[in-house]
Structure 1
């Protein structure tokens, strides 16, 4: 008689905590959009918009308190071993999770300096820049993973197209499907989903480059990348619309 599978100690609790933390992502992304919209309006000048940007940024840091746990949870639950054939996809995603968890960790450190738990202006500046470096690096790895998955999907589609062309029947169909390669292309919904998932880490990478001034981007251009990434994240987190209520049957007299 086979023994029941027992999850390692703490895994169930970690999964539960990760699911709980995920519920706050929508609010955090909305605050991110407000922060970078305010940064765009301020354009690097002091004023009300700049004050809104700073206050919203401070509010977001509080929401990041347990984000390192949520982001790093897959590394604990799934392990860090990666097959050599999956280095560009799975490997990049695992390394991305590690970098983003470190970004949130340094962001928590910045918050501790801001509220006075820690002292030192120079140390706060270094922690802030380190957090941006890890954000940029983690986002760049997200780009690598998404591009690798897109290329793999294109390769599979071309392989299916070549196979279908070699076994096409006289009526132009293969096993009930059209032999034309166009029929093997992904749906528009899939294309849009892939495009958004690629656009988000791309914008976040450019955001990190702008914040660190590794690219000579003006505040408004840097803010645009942050705002676009936040809006796209909100779109992906948006739940589907509830189904329409069934129409009532007309009463017969």
Structure 2
């Protein structure tokens, strides 16, 4: 019937069209289709927590650095100066990072018998390589600050830093491939239903390792480009840097509270 003829307004008629009635129970349930969006305060709090981390600020600046590299395409100019300036500014955040990288070995120098020996050795080696990466970067920073003047030492430290980064990233690729293989491989005697249920249960963990795998792979390629081991153009290297830095920012960003779910209200149906 016509809503106007029955004395029901158009908006009221539309609202009634979203009512789900349960005749047996005599209950009407109203579904709110659009839950309220996440509070901007929660989003700002997440940004603040991200920027509170020195690593977060470092990776954000890294994104700016590689965006500038991509735009400048290696050509001299203002954008190239921005790239160099931001790259120099990032190095301050890496002071004492070599010690942080070596901390797992210092705290636990023994090998974990519950994990494969190769993976344990690779984990220790990765810590050493990342310490070399940060240590070499600290030497470059000292030269930029005017503390060191030995150009030969600076060039060697810069190369050692990038090689350490490349090696650590390659180890990351190997480790994540092993973790994914363990999570997704079908076990002996495992039927299809159980296998699919296990994959579903480990879905979040599989996604996390996939993300880490992609990140490590892109970082390794970026290090290859920065070392000029391949004849890649500056824009190619810049794009790899943007992807690696964006992934870093994503992984460092704190988890935001989930938005409120659609609410339902029930009330007794009037006869």
TM bucket, shorter chain: 0.7 to 0.9
Residues 73-119 of structure 1 deviation map (CA, whole Å, 9 limit, x = unaligned) = 11111224254952343332221111001110011011111121111
Gap change, CA 1:246 and 1:185, over 3 Å in 2: closer
Match of 2:189 among 163, 166, 176: 163
Contact 1:100-1:134 at 8 Å conserved across structures: yes
Residues 190-249 of structure 1 deviation map (CA, whole Å, 9 limit, x = unaligned) = 3332221001111111111111111221111112112111111111111111355899xx
Gap change, CA 1:81 and 1:188, over 3 Å in 2: closer
- More displaced stretch, 51-60 vs 215-224: 215-224
What is the SS of the residue equivalent to 1:163? coil
Counterpart-to-counterpart distance in 2, 1:33 and 1:114:
21
Counterpart check, 1:143 vs 2:157: no
* Cross-structure match for 2:204: 189
- TM-score with structure 1 length normalisation? 0.75
Counterpart-to-counterpart distance in 2, 1:149 and 1:233:
20
Gap change, CA 1:184 and 1:243, over 3 Å in 2: closer
- More displaced stretch, 31-40 vs 90-99: 90-99
Gap change, CA 1:242 and 1:78, over 3 Å in 2: same
* Cross-structure match for 1:28: 58
Match of 1:207 among 222, 237, 250: 222
* Cross-structure match for 2:109: 79
Superposition pairs of residues 20-99 of structure 1, within 5 angstroms: 23-83=53-113, 86-99=116-129
Superposition pairs of residues 208-247 of structure 1, within 5 angstroms: 208-242=223-257
Residues 104-155 of structure 1 deviation map (CA, whole Å, 9 limit, x = unaligned) = 0011011111121111223222211111111111111111111111112223
Gap change, CA 1:221 and 1:183, over 3 Å in 2: same
When the two structures are aligned, how many residues end up with a matched partner?
Answer: 211
Contact 1:88-1:144 at 8 Å conserved across structures: no
- TM-score with structure 2 length normalisation? 0.71
User: RCO (CA 8 Å, sep 6+): is it higher in 1 or 2?
Assistant: 2
Counterpart-to-counterpart distance in 1, 2:218 and 2:83:
19
| Runs of 5+ consecutive residues of structure 1 not aligned to the other structure | 1-21, 166-177, 248-253
| Root-mean-square deviation (Å) | 2.4
Runs of 4+ more than 2 Å apart: 80-85, 87-91, 120-123, 162-165, 178-184, 186-192, 242-247
* Cross-structure match for 2:134: 104
Larger helix percent: 1
